[in-house]
Amino acid sequence: MTNVETPPYVPGHALLDGRTAVITAAAGAGIGGATARRFLEEGARVLVSDAHARRLEECRAALADEFGQASVTALPCDVTDETQVRALFDTAVREHGRLDVVVNNAGLGGTAPLADMTDEQWSRVLDVTLNGTFRCTRAALRLMRAGGGGVVVNNASVLGWRAQAGQAHYAAAKAGVMALTRCAAVEAAAYGVRVNAVSPSLAVHPHLAKVTSAELLEELTAREAFGRYARPWEVANVIVFLASPYSSYMTGEVVSVSGQHP
């Protein structure tokens, strides 16, 4: 198996200069946090959100120290709560004057055999991962329809296409995110909004490493063509592309960010 080192970090090129973005589940070292950083490096103003208020404030403070207080704001939001979702998007417009990009990154995993899975386990994963993406996409489209355009990027997963034991709830939710993306894109095209999704295979960060066994991570990594997992910023780079004018003719697409063997 090939073992390829992580490539050098890609510097910003002002691809999102002047745009305002909302990014959910952006606290911490995962894909959301990496996306917030990449957006700021590309010149965007960012409203970061997360259900974990303390971690979110730490994230905001660190980014604001680096990129300036005016470039990044934060608001806690539980995407299962419609009132909090509405407040998040109202804040984006109030603080930054407009809304150009939304990255729906909030999701919830877990492992349970289907025969032993409880209704609560199933419903909780679906409510955060699929219903939360629906709520935020709906709020975004309402504002973007009135504002004359915008971009939505959803975070799906290769498990929306591929099977993995113990992941029936998560896989079903991510397959739903893919279908939601395609349907929303068809509707939103009429008012100049593009809706796409990324579908990562394995992007490892400290939180994932804490909740996933070393044995499973080793097994999943072995399936990757490069012999390594993705860094969160490598997925964020594709999100930047989908949010930028470089993908101006793409909508309703689910882009695999994967190095897996067939």
Active-site positions read: 170
Would you tell me how many other CB atoms lie within 10 Å of the CB of residue 175?
17
Question: What are the φ/ψ torsions at residue 223 (nearest 5 degrees)?
Answer: -80, -15
Burial of 23 per CB tally in 10 Å (0-12, 13-18, 19+) = buried
Rounded Cα gap, residues 167 and 246, in angstroms: 34
Structure tokens at 26: 């952006």
CB environment 119-137: b (16+ within 10 A), e (fewer): eeebeebbbbbbbbbbbbb
CA dist list (Å): 229 to 35, 226, 236 = 17, 8, 14
Give the distance, in angstroms, between the CA of residue 193 and the centroid of all CA atoms in the same chain: 18
Task: Estimate to the nearest angstrom the gap between the alpha carbon of 85 and the chain centroid.
Answer: 16
Measured CA distances, 100 to 33, 92, 105, 147, 158 (Å): 19, 10, 16, 9, 27
